[in-house]
Amino acid sequence: MKITIVGCGNMGMIYARAFLKYNIVSKENLLLAEKSEKRKEELLKLNIGQVCVVNDKRISESDIVILAVKPQDFEMLSLELRQVLTSDNIIISIMAGMKLGRISSALVKHNIIRAMPNSPAELGMGMTAFTASKVLSIEQIRKAENLLATTGRTVFFENEDLLDAVTALSGSGPAYFFYIVKQMIEAGKSMGFDEATSAMLVKQTMLGSFHLINTANKSLDELIQAVASRGGTTEAALTVFEDQNVGKGLQQGIIKARDRASQLSQ
């Protein structure tokens, strides 16, 4: 297998490391295409693949070309990249909000996968949803999925429009989780704990509770009921959350994120 990663920042490097970890590609067959001289020098020192420019002829021999640049850099990049791409390359874009049609017309190629990963990909615990151009075969889609799955779980959607909701739910999801954890730590501090103690109480609670969701064989409502006895402390907190519409607020925020994703991808 030969792979090119175009744009070796945060996400590009996560994929490079995951592919090497699972022996999907050798360092010799992994091309790392970057723009700035400074970044190229840094990549050379890391010694995890062959560093090259975006119009390097070797890119045309790649089975898979991953586009991991920021969406705003894509139009410029596409002018150079399309000179070396062939119709045999499968292109996987992870650029947020960049639609298949737009990638396809900028590169004048049709073998495109559009994927939306999230930041826990760094730990191999990511969630990636993806869609594909109609011309791709099942074999080609599977090949791409095997690569995406090196960073966590994957799900395929035939309907590209659903990727806006994915962006809002699992793409931005880590930030919602961090936000809730932060509010809990702040509440701990306002009750007299120092930051470290409050963070320990909250983080271990979130970790254990996450595992209960997957192992306790109970619904979320049953899990809530099991902690909240009538007239007790948990119920006091939940009543305030209900009165303040915290749950509805979270849901509305996520729907707003979906709408923004769809606006940005137009």
The answer to whether 189 contacts ligand NAP (rule: CB under 6 A) is no
Phi, psi values for residue 145, rounded to 5°: -65, -40
Indicate the helix (H) or strand (E) that contains 93: strand 90-93
Q: How far is the CB of 96 from ligand NAP (least distance, A)?
A: 3
* Side-chain-facing half-sphere of 2: CA atoms under 13 Å: 12
Contacting residue, 3, 33, 65, 202, with ligand NAP by CB under 6 A: 33
Between residues 8 and 90, which has the closer beta carbon with respect to ligand NAP? 8
Is residue 153 close enough to count as binding ligand NAP by CB under 6 A? no
The rounded radius of gyration (Å) of the Cα atoms in the chain is: 22
Under the binding rule (CB under 6 A), the answer on residue 36 touching ligand NAP is: yes
Name the strand (E) or helix (H) holding 174.
helix 173-190
Told to check if 10 binds ligand NAP by CB under 6 A, we report: yes
Instruction: Indicate the SS3 state at residue 30.
Output: strand
Asked if 164 interacts with ligand NAP (CB under 6 A), we say no
* Minimum CB–partner distance for residue 229 and ligand NAP (Å): 40
Distances (CA, A) of 132 to 2, 88, 160, 175, 256: 20, 15, 8, 27, 25
Under the binding rule (CB under 6 A), the answer on residue 117 touching ligand NAP is yes
Judged by CB under 6 A, the chain residues 70 through 99 that form the site for ligand NAP are 70-71, 73, 76-77, 94-96
Residue ranges in 31-161 assigned as alpha helix (H): 37-46, 71-81, 100-107, 138-148
Q: Which helix (H) or strand (E) holds 134?
A: none
What minimum distance in Å lies between the beta carbon of 211 and ligand NAP? 24
Q: For ligand NAP, give the closer residue by CB, 41 or 186.
A: 41
Count of chain residues binding ligand NAP (CB under 6 A):
28
Interface positions with ligand NAP (CB under 6 A): 6-12, 33-36, 39, 54, 68-71, 73, 76-77, 94-96, 116-119, 171
